[in-house]
């Protein structure tokens, strides 16, 4: 693939799932200067979690993905969707919101729904007896969620992008921890 190719991830607040997906895909496509990656949230302007959740930042830093992340959330807009060759939604609700709010009607080949459900971290803290145990549970669940995101990107997004699977082998396995 020699022409410009833009991948855009969409989730709810653009502070966790889509930011992890953006950074991981940016890492995978680092040797492909024609591929750009971005992300946004359908409710990002509500700014519930600040620029990024601490759980996402922990994973991005641990996996050395800082060079591949954007530094603040971005509200989904018709322009962001139209500028992407591939729009990847974390859940069906994000696709449906974009269809309803922005009249987004792409060909099936221009979008993908990963079906990565949101983790209700607020519920973990409400149900926990201590902040330390809640933090441990949140970290455990965020590690699992990031593993799911990476696996779905490698199996469902990478084949659509022109990124050679051979280039993933050592780095992808190193990032699986």
pLDDT averaged over every residue in the chain: 88
Query: Per this entry, what is the length of the chain?
Result: 177
Query: Given this model, what pLDDT does residue 45 score?
Result: 84
**Alpha carbon distance 173, 166 (integer Å):** 12
**Alpha carbon distance 78, 170 (integer Å):** 37
CB under 8 Å to 86, separation ≥6 — which residues? Answer: 5, 6, 7, 8, 110, 111, 112, 157, 160, 161
**Domain total in the chain:** 1
Residue 123 lies in a domain: yes
Note down the domain range covering 115.
5-165
Give the residue with greater pLDDT, 172 vs 107.
Answer: 107
Residue 174 lies in a domain: no
What are the φ and ψ backbone dihedral angles of 65, each rounded to 5 degrees?
Answer: -105, 5
pLDDT tens track for 12-35? 999 999 999 999 999 999 999 999
Residue 159 lies in a domain: yes
Residue 109 lies in a domain: yes
Predicted model pTM: 0.89
pLDDT tens track for 45-80? 887 767 899 999 999 999 999 999 998 999 999 999
CATH number for the domain including 78?
3.40.50.2300
């Amino acid at each position: 693939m020699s022409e410009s190719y833009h991948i855009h991830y969409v989730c709810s607040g653009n502070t966790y799932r889509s930011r992890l997906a953006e950074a991981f895909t940016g890492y995978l496509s680092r040797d492909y200067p024609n591929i750009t990656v971005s992300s946004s949230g359908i409710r990002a302007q509500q700014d519930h979690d600040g620029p990024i959740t601490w759980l996402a930042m922990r994973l991005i830093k641990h996996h050395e993905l800082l060079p591949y992340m954007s530094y603040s959330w971005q509200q989904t807009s018709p322009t962001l969707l139209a500028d992407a060759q591939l729009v990847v939604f974390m859940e069906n609700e994000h696709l449906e919101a974009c269809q309803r709010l922005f009249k987004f009607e792409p060909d099936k080949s221009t979008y993908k729904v990963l079906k990565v459900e949101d983790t209700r971290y607020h519920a973990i803290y409400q149900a926990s007896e201590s902040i330390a145990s809640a933090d441990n549970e949140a970290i455990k669940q965020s590690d699992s969620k990031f593993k799911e995101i990476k696996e779905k990107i490698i199996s469902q997004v990478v084949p659509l992008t022109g990124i050679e699977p051979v280039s993933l082998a050592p780095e992808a396995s190193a990032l699986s921890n």
